[in-house]
Amino acid sequence: MRARPTRKAHTPMTDAASPAPGNAVDVAVIGGGLIGLGIAWRCAQRGLAVTVFDPAPGSGASWTAAGMLAPVTELRYGEQSLFALNLLSAQRYPEFVEELQSAAGMDVGYRLTGSVVAAWDAADLASLRDLAVFAKSLGHPVEVLTGRELRRESPLLSPGLPGGIIAPDDHQVNNRKLHAALRAAFSAAGGRVVTERVTAVWSPRGRVAGVVLADGTVAPAGITVLAAGAWSRQVDGVPPELMPRVRPVKGQTLRLRLPSGEVLGRVVRGTVRGSPVYLVPREDGELVVGASSEETGFGLTPRAGAVYELLRDAQSLLPIVAEAHLEDVSTSLRPGSPDNAPMIGPSRIEGLVFATGHYRNGVLLTPVTADGVADLITNGTLPIELLPFRPDRFSTHPDTHRPAEVPA
Ligand code: GLY
């Protein structure tokens, strides 16, 4: 798979039965969240003509997320290859942010705060010790803290907590600012955002050659990237068994503001009576508290019980939360996948690339996904670090469709 700048090479495919297509671009991206815009920006930087299609860019998981860049504190047993990808993307963040901020002329709130995980009780502390051993076995530093050391790290924490761990390299970015910067940088690089809904991919001759909008308009493109997060299966034109295996996992976050003068220096996480909670302090005093995790379909209505549970658990770790102002309740859908890892790479239909299923790590994986998909589109090969995350890893049916990737 290889796209070259429109002026040189691309000729749109047309079909007598299709509506008259507009001008072709090299790349159409379905989805204007962090993943879609990151890919679009990287492709536009390489001289490709790129259009992003999204009725409300950045209003989904990119808006609701807390912006944790947390390979270590999100580490789960059995997810070592995802850990390696998360780590790589975290390592790319400083350069990515520097380049983006300069291209967009705005700050994205990247903060080197590190993260602490507070244990709720002795059993919880024992499992955090096990996690620390596991992280160290993968070559990553994690320090175990006593209760006193924990409070020295984060003096606002509740005095009764028995200890915890510190992951000094698990940082954060302001995801809402990151999205605004990606949109500005993409526009500055010549990209276009169309706020129309894509109903289907356009595949006039068994090859995806663009998108169909809600009003029936066809927008042709050399390569189409499906990056619509939890909504990625809600695009017609591809047989369901060839669509990415994403499902919606509802998450709710709260934005609080601590009383003036009260500062939480690090990201704080914990599992209070079995219920996970995190608190992410922004530079301007905002405190993001998250997140619920609910497998209840596509509904987006905030649930009162989730607000209650988050506030209850956040306050158990950080008593000052009771004095905070509640400024925002936000709900969206994580794109869950069967193995919690993303699906990035060629689909089984020529001309269609997937970049979805980032589940709990979309903000963190934006740089590595954007670079890798831009490489695939411009050079014809997926970088080695993304090979374990090819969408066809779940496939069990015979490959009757021509794969999108053609060796360069
Ligand atoms: N990565 C945090 C969350 O998904 O809630």
Q: What is the pLDDT of residues 65-82, one digit of tens each?
A: 999 999 999 999 999 999
Q: What letters, b where the CB count within 10 A reaches 16 and e where it falls short, cover 112-138?
A: ebbbbbbbbeeebbeebbebbebbeee
Say yes or no: 291 and 155 in one domain. Answer: yes
Q: Is 336 in the pocket of ligand 1 (CB under 6 A)?
A: no
Q: What is the pLDDT of residue 17?
A: 35
Say yes or no: 144 and 268 in one domain. Answer: yes
**Percentages (nearest 5) of helix, strand, coil residues in the chain:** 30, 25, 45
Average pLDDT over residues 289-302: 95
Atom of ligand 1 nearest to the CA of 293: 5
Q: From CA 355, how far away is CA 357, in angstroms rounded?
A: 7
34: how many CB neighbours lie within 10 A of its CB? Answer: 31
Atom of ligand 1 nearest to the CA of 290: 5
Residue 269 has pLDDT above 90, yes or no: yes
Number of domains in the chain: 2
Which CATH number is 386's domain given? 3.50.50.60
* Final residue before a domain boundary, out of 296, 320, 335: 335
Q: From CA 354, how far away is CA 320, in angstroms rounded?
A: 43
Residue 402 identity: R
Q: From CA 151, how far away is CA 173, in angstroms rounded?
A: 24
Beta-ladder partners of 201: 211
Q: Is 46 in the pocket of ligand 1 (CB under 6 A)?
A: no
Say yes or no: 268 and 279 in one domain. Answer: yes
Q: What is the pLDDT of residue 3?
A: 66
For tokens 């990737």, name the residue.
Answer: 405
In three-state secondary structure terms, 58 is coil
Using a 10 angstrom Cβ sphere, with 0-12 exposed, 13-18 middle and 19 or more buried, the burial of residue 276 is middle
Q: Would you say residue 97 lies in a domain?
A: no
Which CATH number is 163's domain given? 3.30.9.10
Q: What is the pLDDT of residues 313-363, one digit of tens each?
A: 999 999 999 999 999 999 999 999 999 999 999 999 999 999 999 999 999
Say yes or no: 239 and 186 in one domain. Answer: yes
Residue 400 has pLDDT above 80, yes or no: no
Percent of the chain topping pLDDT 90: 87
Q: Is 213 in the pocket of ligand 1 (CB under 6 A)?
A: no
Residue 147 has pLDDT above 80, yes or no: yes
Q: Is 75 in the pocket of ligand 1 (CB under 6 A)?
A: no
pLDDT grade for 141, boundaries at 50, 70 and 90: confident
The mean predicted confidence, pLDDT, of the chain is 92
| Nearest alpha-carbon partner for 92 in 389, 344, 365, 342 | 365
Average pLDDT over residues 120-133: 95
Beta-ladder partners of 221: 25
Q: From CA 245, how far away is CA 239, in angstroms rounded?
A: 12
Domain interval for residue 204 = 2-62+176-246+338-405
Ligand 1: centre distance to CA 365 (Å): 12
Residue of the CA atom closest to atom 1 of ligand 1: 360
Q: Would you say residue 354 lies in a domain?
A: yes
DSSP 191-238: -EEE-S-EEEE--TTSS--EEEETTS-EEEEEEEEE--GGGTT--BSS
Residue 13 has pLDDT above 90, yes or no: no
Residue 125 identity: L
Distances (CA, A) of 372 to 104, 110, 136, 369, 389: 21, 22, 28, 5, 11
Ligand 1: centre distance to CA 2 (Å): 34
Q: What is the pLDDT of residue 125?
A: 96
Q: Is 363 in the pocket of ligand 1 (CB under 6 A)?
A: no
Ligand 1: centre distance to CA 401 (Å): 35
Say yes or no: 258 and 215 in one domain. Answer: no
Asked whether 232 and 323 are in contact (CB, 8 A), the reply is no
* Final residue before a domain boundary, out of 335, 351, 375: 335
Say yes or no: 164 and 258 in one domain. Answer: yes
Residue 43 has pLDDT above 70, yes or no: yes
Q: What is the pLDDT of residue 1?
A: 62
Q: Would you say residue 285 lies in a domain?
A: yes
Which two structure tokens, joined as six digits, stand for 111? 């903060």
**Model pTM score:** 0.92
Q: From CA 155, how far away is CA 360, in angstroms rounded?
A: 28
Q: What is the pLDDT of residue 19?
A: 41
Q: What is the pLDDT of residue 2?
A: 64
Residue 6 has pLDDT above 90, yes or no: no
Percent of the chain topping pLDDT 70: 91
Residue 304 has pLDDT above 90, yes or no: yes
* Final residue before a domain boundary, out of 335, 353, 369: 335
Distances (CA, A) of 177 to 20, 120, 122, 131: 38, 32, 38, 32
Q: What is the pLDDT of residues 183-221, one digit of tens each?
A: 999 999 999 999 999 999 999 988 999 999 999 999 999
Left, alpha or beta for 116 (phi > 0: left; psi -120 to 50: alpha)?
beta
Ligand 1: centre distance to CA 381 (Å): 30
Residue 149 has pLDDT above 90, yes or no: yes
Element (H, E) at 163: strand 163-167
Q: In the chain, count of helices (H) and strands (E)?
A: 8, 18
DSSP 294: B
Residue of the CA atom closest to atom 4 of ligand 1: 360
Asked whether 376 and 1 are in contact (CB, 8 A), the reply is yes
Residue 399 has pLDDT above 60, yes or no: no
Q: What is the pLDDT of residue 406?
A: 32
Distances (CA, A) of 262 to 158, 286, 331: 14, 11, 27
